[in-house]
Amino acid sequence: MRARRTVLGAAVFANAKAKRLAIRLTKWTGKSPDYVHPKHLLPETDEQYWYLPHVAPRARLLDVGCGNAMHTLKAAARCAVAVGIDRSEESLRVGRRASAGPRPGTVALVRGDVETGLPFGDAGFDTVLCMDLLEHVHARQAVLTEIRRVLRPGGALLLAVPNRATTWKRRLERAGLFHYSDPDHKVEYTFPELEAELDRGGFVVASRYPSVYDTPLVGLIDVVGGVSLALYRRLSRLRRRLAARYPEEDAGFYVVCRAR
């Protein structure tokens, strides 16, 4: 048991180090002027950017917890107005540099702490994007309540959160190891837990999309992306096919939500 725990712990440590290395490699190898994860450098596809078909041409979109605004800018190419909000000024500066060139629609990036409220009026947005945010915050119900407030009737919440019940994560949990995909995560979900969280916030899941197959080799795959985006793209496609075939092993949940 001790030997197994040691081996699994070493794998977790290596994956964390590999992820940070991959982010640095994208800049060191000239793939990006900034330190970004290789997944943000892949060409736009309906699978990778699953939410884009749900962004209407005349929509007003809000990206809650936008980080460096990669998703905000993807959506901005399809909608009338895209607003991103994040508490990290450093991340927003990356997004502002990326948005400096010509692009369709209007982009605004705002600094703010989403856990203390959204500085926007009621029903001001047609679509809200919330990618990999809920797992990082404590006041999740407050965030969901605010998202519902700023959404117009009939609007959509496009949400991505991690799955904590894959085989790899359950193996780590049984060994008594930290089993979340990021040390900063406050929570990860099973799908019923996610549905319950959304229900408390006034939302219901309307549809679901696969993300990628969870694997203990994720760190190595990230490093591959820092070196070769072409090979990383092929591996990402394989992981998406496996996630669609084995949804219980899906690393995350991509869901379209409607107000209940």
pLDDT of 260: 82
Integer angstrom CA distances of residue 190 from 130, 145, 162, 163, 170: 18, 21, 9, 6, 11
DSSP secondary-structure letter at 163?
A: B
Per-residue DSSP letter, 127: E
Please tell me the predicted confidence (pLDDT) of residue 98: 83
Domain-embedded: residue 172: yes
Share of the chain residues as helix, strand and coil, in percent rounded to the nearest 5: 45, 20, 35
Domain that holds residue 83: 50-212+235-259
Instruction: Indicate whether 163 belongs to any domain.
Output: yes
Run of H or E residues at 71: helix 70-76
Considering the domain boundaries, does residue 155 fall inside one? yes
Q: Is residue 108 part of a domain?
A: yes
Task: Specify the number of domains making up the chain.
Answer: 1
What average pLDDT does the chain have? 92
Closest C-alpha among 202, 205, 176 to residue 189: 205
- Give domain status of residue 93, yes or no: yes
Q: What is the mean pLDDT of each run of 10 residues along the chain (260 residues)?
A: 84 90 94 89 79 94 95 92 95 87 75 96 97 96 97 96 96 91 92 96 95 94 95 94 95 94
CATH number of residue 153's parent domain:
3.40.50.150
Q: Is residue 143 part of a domain?
A: yes
Query: What are 67-108's pLDDT values in tens digits?
Result: 999 899 999 988 999 999 999 999 999 889 888 765 545 899
How confident is the model over 178-194, as pLDDT tens digits?
Answer: 899 888 999 999 999 99
Answer yes or no: is 7 within a domain.
no
Q: How far apart are CA 10 and CA 77, in angstroms?
A: 42
CA 84, distance to chain mean position in Å, is 14
pLDDT score for 24? 95
CA neighbor of 180 nearest in space, from 252, 229, 127: 252
Whole-number pLDDT of residue 181: 86
